[in-house]
Structure 1
Amino acid sequence: MAANDLAHELARTLKESDEFKQFLKSKEKVMSDINNHKMIREFQLRQWEIRDAQMLEAEISEEKQQELERLYSLVSLNPTAREYLEAEFEVSRMVNDIQKIIGEAIQDAMPIGFDELTL
């Protein structure tokens, strides 16, 4: 079987997984309530800001960290929002595991100069 065929099969398998179905169900619940949608969106925007700053090795203000913690507290108290974030985490974990497996399998195919980098 060709690698592309396997990739399409993997994509179908992911879409049919219990984790992905739970994620879609949770997402639909969040999207049906404007307040939940806004809360999740605000939390994720703050989370991405901090991740971007960390990747750029920029200093993260105490205020931004506290704001993210406050938003996380609010999100975790909301069952619908918490369920969504947990489902999102499970799908992300699954995809990250697959990326790691593939990355390890093709590690020898990295261009010259990249072999010193850790995946």
Structure 2
Amino acid sequence: MAAHDLARELARTLKESAEFKQFYKSKAKVMSDENNHKMVKEFQLKQWEIREAQMLENEVSEEKQQELERLYSLLSINPAAREYLEAEFEVSRMVNDIQKIIGEAIQDAMPIGFEDMTP
């Protein structure tokens, strides 16, 4: 089977997995409630803002960290939001595992000059 065919099969398998089905279900539940949607969106935007600053090696203020923690605390006591975040984490973990497996398989195919950049 060609690599492209395997990639398409992997995509279908992912979409049909229990993890993705749970993710879609919990996402729909959050999206159907305006307050939950707003809270999750705000949390994820703040989370992204902090990650971006960290990747750029910028200092993250204590105030921003505390705001993120406060939002997470609120979300963790909200059943729909908590379920969504847990499902999102599971899907993310699965995708990261797959990326790692593929990355290990092709690490010898790095272009000249990038050979030593493998983790």
1:108 maps to what in 2? Answer: 108
- Please state how far the C-alpha of 1:91 moved relative to its aligned partner: 0.4
CA distances 1:55-81 after superposition (whole Å, capped 9, x unpaired): 000000000000000000001010100
2:83 maps to what in 1? Answer: 83
1:9 maps to what in 2? Answer: 9
What TM-score results when the alignment is normalised by the length of structure 2?
A: 0.98
What TM-score results when the alignment is normalised by the length of structure 1?
A: 0.98
Q: Is the 8 A contact 2:75 2:81 kept in 1?
A: yes
1:37 maps to what in 2? Answer: 37
Secondary structure of the equivalent of 1:93? helix
Letter in 2 for 1:40: V
- Please state how far the C-alpha of 1:116 moved relative to its aligned partner: 1.3
Whole-angstrom distance in 1 between the partners of 2:114 and 2:81: 40
Whole-angstrom distance in 1 between the partners of 2:67 and 2:91: 26
- Structure 2's unaligned 5+ residue stretches are none
Q: Is the 8 A contact 2:107 2:118 kept in 1?
A: no
1:26 maps to what in 2? Answer: 26
- Please state how far the C-alpha of 1:113 moved relative to its aligned partner: 1.4
- Please state how far the C-alpha of 1:118 moved relative to its aligned partner: 2.7
1:97 maps to what in 2? Answer: 97
Provide the identity percentage: 84
2:71 maps to what in 1? Answer: 71
Aligned length: 119
What is the root-mean-square deviation in Å for CA atoms of aligned residues? 0.6
